[in-house]
Amino acid sequence: MRLLFLLPANAISGGVFVVFEHARRLQARGHEVTLAFADIASNKNISIYPGMEDVETVYLTEIAQERVFDIALATWWETAYLIHKVTAKHYGYFVQARESYFYSQESIFPLLVQHSYNAGFHVLTISRSLSKYLSSWLGYEPAVIPNAVESEVFASSVPILPPASGFRRVLVEGVPRSHVKRTELALEVLEHFPELEVVLLSQCDKPDGKYSVSHTFEAIPYSHVPPIYRSCDFILKLSREESFARPVLEMFAAGGTAVVAEFAGHEEYILHDHNALTVPVNDKDAAIKAVARLIGEPGLMARLSREASATARTRCLGQSNDLLADELDQIFASEITKHRPLEELWSSFTAAGGIRQYESTLEKMQNQCESLVAENTSLRNTIEKITCSYSYQLGNKIAKPLRHVRKLLNLY
């Protein structure tokens, strides 16, 4: 079959990497697979994920209208509105998250996301909880292609950091200042544990300097990820919304455990007091107590890590790709799609894009203001420490009579 996956960009993202992995495996099965990127500003050559050399990569704008694919699949809500630009016999939609929850519920974007589910796509998803969630719009529960990782790769990787002696290492994964990923909340929690060595893995950007981070890895190729996980004992993941929290499963595969916020659908593989510890979303105090328990209770981390490793081994990438291949065969055998999904809403989507760009600019300005406030607060604290110091006060006492003499001399 001639298959196309339409991605928003060639970016470091769990959802993007899931598509990359399925694409390369489908190509190895003998299918003609094309990955198309909507964002022409991103590099179309994939260097951040291994084994992609044989998969064709193009920009959406480079695909000729006369080129016909057997199945074209959207992989993010915006690509669902763009995929009508591709000519295909069948149109699929690989939904990997409750994407409407990534936006303010007062904006137009949740409505656009939800409307995309009713556009006549063949819908696939990655978890039972997402399948049940999507059934509200579809009237049926779409097929589940479970997320998985290559457990043996993580388990056999050589740690990138030297062995920790007398202390534990904790991994924090995510973009700093993300309101969804709550990365900085995790770093705030860990400020209560100076005995822990903190490792940060980020797609981009560095955290505020006020946090104690021992090692930072930024925008690294995926082949470097397993050695980082193998260097850590557990991951602290406090996102308020996740599609699946693949980093937690990766930590399980690497032999560690986790403290995780109870995002919707976490119970699919994250079980409290069995393979991890879970806490309510946005509950800093509960997270502090859970970390304290994990590192303080004898035998707990070892027990949870054993069960976590067993959980990871049950989620096999090969089996997941088998399920996807079977579902694609069924789509291919179904009646050919007679219309291009969401084509009639192209102008509305374009207008919404302008709104999103405006909101994005406002968000960047807000982040810059927050950074300036933080820098100003830091400077003010430094000045206060200096003025309160003994040296400053002594110098001021010595300088005071000299200033008085200088003033008298200026009179004459």
Query: Is pLDDT of 372 > 90?
Result: no
Domain boundaries, the chain: 2-148+317-362, 151-313
Query: Which one-letter amino acid corresponds to residue 211?
Result: Y
Share of the chain above pLDDT 70, in %: 85
**What type of residue is 222?**
Y
Are 295 and 193 in contact by the 8 Å Cβ rule? The answer is yes
Measured over all CA atoms, what is the biggest interatomic distance in the chain, rounded to whole angstroms? 104
The answer to whether residue 247 scores a pLDDT higher than 60 is yes
Which uninterrupted H or E stretch holds 302? helix 300-313
In DSSP notation, 240-259 reads S--SS-HHHHHHHHTT-EEE
Q: At what angle do helices 14-28 and 317-333 cross, to 10 degrees?
A: 70
Residue 76 exposed, middle or buried by CB count within 10 Å (0-12, 13-18, 19+): buried
- CA distance linking residue 337 with residue 164, whole number of Å: 57
pLDDT (0 to 100) of residue 270: 97
Q: Give per-residue burial for 54-65: e unless 16+ CB within 10 Å, then b.
A: ebebeebeebee
Q: Domain 2-148+317-362 is classified in which CATH homologous superfamily?
A: Glycogen Phosphorylase B; (3.40.50.2000)
Q: Is the pLDDT of residue 412 over 90?
A: no
What are the structure tokens assigned to 159, written together? 């740690």
The H or E element that residue 90 is part of is strand 87-95
* CB 291, CB 193: distance < 8 Å: yes
Q: What percent of the chain has pLDDT over 90?
A: 72
Residue-level pLDDT at 409: 47
Arithmetic mean of pLDDT over the chain: 88
pLDDT at 408: 46
**Range of lowest pLDDT (93-102, 143-152, 200-209):** 200-209
Contacts of 274 (CB under 8 A, 6+ apart): 304, 307
pLDDT for residue 374: 56
Q: Where are the alpha helices (DSSP H) in 95-223?
A: 109-116, 128-138, 151-156, 183-190
Instruction: Give the contacts of 144 (CB within 8 A, at least 6 positions apart).
Output: 124, 125, 126, 127, 128, 130, 131, 323
Q: Where are the beta strands (DSSP E) in 185-332?
A: 196-202, 215-218, 234-237, 257-261, 277-279
The sheet with strand 32-37 has its strands ordered as: 56-59, 32-37, 2-7, 68-74, 87-95, 122-125, 143-144
Do the two domains 2-148+317-362 and 151-313 of this chain adopt the same fold?
A: yes
15: phi then psi, degrees, rounded to nearest 5:
-65, -40
Measure the CA angle with vertex 75, ends 71 and 79; round to 5°: 90
User: Mind listing the pLDDT tens digit for each residue in 39-54?
Assistant: 999 999 999 999 999 9
pLDDT, tens digit, for every residue of 313-358? Answer: 999 999 999 999 999 999 999 999 888 999 888 777 777 665 555 4
Instruction: For residue 303, give every residue at least 6 positions away whose Cβ sits within 8 Å of its Cβ, in sequence order, or none.
Output: none
Residue 68, beta-bridge partner list: 87
pLDDT at 36: 98
Question: How far from chain centre, in Å, is Cα 411?
Answer: 69
> Cα-flanking dihedrals φ and ψ of residue 9, to 5°?
-165, 165
- Strands 56-59 and 32-37, sheet pairing: parallel
The rounded distance, in Å, linking the Cα atoms of 215 and 71 is: 43
Query: What pTM value is reported for the model?
Result: 0.83
Instruction: Identify the residue with better confidence: 411 or 343.
Output: 343
| Whole-number pLDDT of residue 216 | 93
* pLDDT band (50, 70, 90) for residue 71: very high
Gap between the Cα atoms of 128 and 328, Å rounded: 19
End-to-end CA, the chain: 98
Distances from the Cα of 284 to the Cαs of 173, 305, 366, in angstroms? 17, 23, 24
Residue 206's pLDDT is 74
Q: Is 50 helix (H, G, I), strand (E, B) or coil?
A: coil
Total Cβ atoms within 10 A of residue 47: 9
Helices (H), 32-182: 77-82, 109-116, 128-138, 151-156
Can you tell me the distance from the alpha carbon of 1 to that of 70, in angstroms, rounded to the nearest whole number? 6
Backbone angles phi, psi at 85, to 5 degrees: -75, -10
Structure tokens at 98: 């409750």
Domain 151-313 has CATH 3.40.50.2000: yes
Q: What pLDDT is recorded for position 358?
A: 44
